[in-house]
Amino acid sequence: MVDYYKLKRELIILIVFMFLSIGLFQFIPFSNAQTNGEPISFSTSFTFNEYSEIEGIKENISEVNIQFPEANWTITDMQLNFSDIRLGNEIRTIEDSETGHFENVYNKNPSLRTFALATQLEILEEAEIFGVYIRAYKTVQASEMIKFQIQGYDEGNRVPNNTIHRSIDLNISTNLIWHYQDFSSDPITLSIGNYSLVMNGTNIPVNVDAKYFWAIDESDPQIPLLHTSSYKTSWSPGTVNTSFLCKINQSVDKSYFPSDINMTAEINGDNYEIINGSTIGTGSLEIVEINYFFNETNFNIPINISESITLKFNYNYKISLKNDFTTESEIVEIEESTNYWSMVPIFNRISSNYFVQFDFPQNWYNFTIFRILSETRENVTSLVNIDMSNKSISIPNATIEDGAEWEIKANSPNIDLTLNFPPKVEAGKLLEISVDAPSTQGNCSFVIVKPITGKAELIEIQEAVSGEIFFSFLIPTNWSSGSYIGEIYWNNETDVGMKYTEFKIPSPPFTWEPWMIFVIVLGTAGISVLSFVSYRTIKNIRNKQFEKKQKIYNSCMDVLHLDYIMVSDKKSGLNVYKQNFSEKIIDAALISGFLQAIHSFGIELIKVEDQSQTIKLEYKDSIVLMSEFVNVRLILIMKERPSRFFLYSLEDLAYDIYKNYGDMIDSFDGNVEPFKSIETLLKRHFEATFIYPLKIAQIDKLNKIRISQNERNYINKAVTLMKTKNVNHFYVRSLFTENECSPKDVETILELMEKKIFK
């Protein structure tokens, strides 16, 4: 056994001696190199231009509405081609002049009755009639249903004939308004000619107060030659220069040139004339270099005509779009003559016709373009267009693939600088240097790289336009002696220049002081004591570490030998939880009943009920363990005899199950669902991860983690095992050859789990 009290006393002596040594040594003027600061880096943003072309076709519509895949693009060019240009529904006014005169339909008596009213309708070109508006009203007593009809026309007598083309119930109210007579459910197409609009009440009964009034212009109608008539016992001869107030909702099947109807398109507040096509009903609009920035996705173009009616047409479109975005570029390496740049732009294709252009700086050269898709890095430099004359890179549509990542690498020359550095540099003295900067505006940075650590410390940045730039820096007295590097960087948005020189800070002259000798003697004695104490301490620590590793190894090997576990009610012997870790089929009820019988027999003989106990039974090639605490019975079946650590854990597990589930076991009604969480206690007390199926982390994660050769061997072994069995998981026990598993192997597996490589 380790003497922990003695070990504690020795550690206290060691700590006290270390504090005394630190207290004395802090007065010795040793120099410490400063390691703060990071290596200098440069980055800038460059603009990429992306171009896309969208196109499509739409038919039988009355407006131009184009859906963009994304907002915030600039429209550069647009082409619209129209076809089948025709008028849609229109309201044709026959008469709408209000004169205050009305004719009415009523049935007062046989001698003073008017059964119907009619007005002539002249169709000038073939039209489809959807309805008729009439200016009319009725009395409150007029509740009978009469008809409104489109009839033929008797050219000789100028009155309706007996042909009824359409007939519907009259739609009218007691208010004098425009009432719509709707034929849209069965519209009628009328050819060129004359027809009659009829308010027909021939079937209404006698009612003095039931009247239907239809407004009429009998003084100055808009179409003077139309005839109106009324029906009593027959139609009265048609009368000219009178017309009942009516409007026709019609559609004329006729195509037009855009110029016939003054057809224009309104874009961004400007009207553009639509040019006639080669045949009637066609036209086009082409706008070049419109450069209209559109910040929405729904691009609506109002189409205007001279007529106040709906227009119908087909159209196809082709729109060229442009957008620009910025990508950060950083200089990844600076050499004496060459700089290395890298940028990772993101391309978002919005159509099947899409390409990207990058105008690169004047001095850049030696480009390499990579396309990364599905972890495959492909050099596609030969597939892009690099124009060194115009200083641009164009990545064509055929090269761009959805979901791909991109990297562009390039070189630029290191801009030449002249650095003036003093021949001698000392700690505690002022360092003054100068540099001849380029004539282009930029920044100058002064950096010192320290010895041993190689850390770069940024001293100062100055704006440089041209001429000589001066830097001064007081070197701290505590900087150690050695070789330093002074670096001067000049940079602007597109170029970088660097010049460096090496300088030395000499060591100060050394002299021995009496107190130094005292410290050395004291230190020598202290080191001797420290060495002895450290030896004893390290030995004790190693013993503890060995014991800890052995315990972990035994625990892992114990769970690998675990085949089955059951938790049951001690009184009834009924199982509340069970889990199989072996391919063998085990009758849990039979084993539980058998052990219940043994337990009852034992109680009868030795009277140990309600005491914690662990019973071990051996049968053929299996070990049966039974541990009890109060009302909990824990049964395990194993391949081999477990270690003492496992037996300790077994008793602790039985206690924890009682503490968390004891009351539930007393009231157990056959429902095992609440006991599934016992698995959490198994993982807490045993190295349970060794008996559950594991998977391997993704390949990209493995590339980011430092892995030892022994760990890699186990990863390869797991991969081979899964491929052989054609599964996506494996068991730890399958990785170990029987009787050839060492604590080092277990430690390796646990390390892989800790690194989340085995999950």
Structure tokens at 580: 């199989």
C-alpha–C-alpha distance, residues 264 and 256, integer Å: 13
pLDDT in tens, 413-444: 998 888 899 988 888 889 999 998 888 888 99
Helices (H), 445-587: 514-560
Q: For the full predicted model, state whether its pTM sits above 0.85.
A: no
Considering only residues 699 and 183, tell me which one the structure prediction assigns the higher pLDDT.
Answer: 183
Q: Which of 14-28, 73-87, 192-206, 396-410 has the lowest mean pLDDT?
A: 14-28
Q: Is the pLDDT of residue 277 over 90?
A: yes
**β pairing state of 147-154 and 43-61:** unpaired
C-alpha–C-alpha distance, residues 649 and 682, integer Å: 10
Q: Is the pLDDT of residue 5 over 50?
A: no
pLDDT in tens, 513-529: 677 777 776 776 667 66
Residues with Cβ within 8 Å of 518's Cβ and at least 6 positions away in sequence, in order, are: none
Instruction: Output Rg (C-alpha) for the chain, integer angstroms.
Output: 50
Residue 386: how many other CB atoms lie within 10 Å: 16
Per-residue confidence (pLDDT) for residue 17, from 0 to 100: 47
Residue 398: how many other CB atoms lie within 10 Å: 8
Band the pLDDT of 30: cuts 50, 70, 90. very low
pLDDT in tens, 103-143: 988 876 656 677 899 999 999 888 899 999 999 999 999 88
Per-residue confidence (pLDDT) for residue 745, from 0 to 100: 75
Considering only residues 319 and 705, tell me which one the structure prediction assigns the higher pLDDT.
Answer: 319
Q: Which of 150-154, 257-261, 552-556 has the lowest mean pLDDT?
A: 552-556
Per-residue confidence (pLDDT) for residue 36, from 0 to 100: 36
Residues with Cβ within 8 Å of 87's Cβ and at least 6 positions away in sequence, in order, are: 251, 252, 254, 256, 261, 307, 309, 310, 311, 312
pLDDT in tens, 621-660: 778 888 888 888 888 888 788 877 777 778 888 888 888 8
Residue 686: how many other CB atoms lie within 10 Å: 21
C-alpha–C-alpha distance, residues 541 and 547, integer Å: 10
C-alpha–C-alpha distance, residues 566 and 637, integer Å: 9
Residue 218: how many other CB atoms lie within 10 Å: 14
Degrees to nearest 5, angle at CA 249 with 244 and 250: 120
Residues with Cβ within 8 Å of 162's Cβ and at least 6 positions away in sequence, in order, are: 151, 152
Per the listing, tokens 């993982």 go with 683
Is residue 197 a contact partner of residue 119, using CB atoms and an 8 Å limit?
yes
Q: Is the pLDDT of residue 541 over 80?
A: no
pLDDT in tens, 644-702: 777 777 888 888 888 889 888 888 888 888 888 888 888 777 766 667 778 887 655 66
Considering only residues 539 and 278, tell me which one the structure prediction assigns the higher pLDDT.
Answer: 278
Q: Is the pLDDT of residue 549 over 70?
A: no
C-alpha–C-alpha distance, residues 269 and 338, integer Å: 53
Degrees to nearest 5, angle at CA 600 with 594 and 606: 130
Percent over 90 (pLDDT), the chain:
36
Residue 78: how many other CB atoms lie within 10 Å: 22
Per the listing, tokens 């849990």 go with 588
Is residue 399 a contact partner of residue 389, using CB atoms and an 8 Å limit?
no
pLDDT in tens, 588-621: 666 766 666 666 554 433 333 444 467 777 766 7
Strand-pairing partners, residue 189, are 128
57 residue type, one letter: I
User: Rounded to 5 degrees, what are φ and ψ at 679?
Assistant: -55, -35
Q: Is the pLDDT of residue 315 over 90?
A: yes
pLDDT in tens, 437-446: 888 888 999 9
35 residue type, one letter: T
Per-residue confidence (pLDDT) for residue 512, from 0 to 100: 65
Per the listing, tokens 């100060």 go with 508
Q: Is the pLDDT of residue 497 over 60?
A: yes
Give the CA-trace dihedral at 658, 659, 662, 663, to 10 degrees: 180
Average pLDDT score, the chain: 82
Per-residue confidence (pLDDT) for residue 253, from 0 to 100: 77
628 residue type, one letter: E
Per-residue confidence (pLDDT) for residue 123, from 0 to 100: 92
**Would you call 123 helix, strand, or coil by DSSP?**
strand
Per-residue confidence (pLDDT) for residue 308, from 0 to 100: 65
255 secondary structure, DSSP code: B
Q: Is the pLDDT of residue 2 over 50?
A: no
Write down the number of H helices and E strands in the chain: 8, 44
Degrees to nearest 5, angle at CA 706 with 704 and 708: 145
Per-residue confidence (pLDDT) for residue 689, from 0 to 100: 65
pLDDT in tens, 253-269: 788 899 988 999 999 98
Q: Taking residues 8-18, report their average pLDDT.
A: 50
Per-residue confidence (pLDDT) for residue 20, from 0 to 100: 43
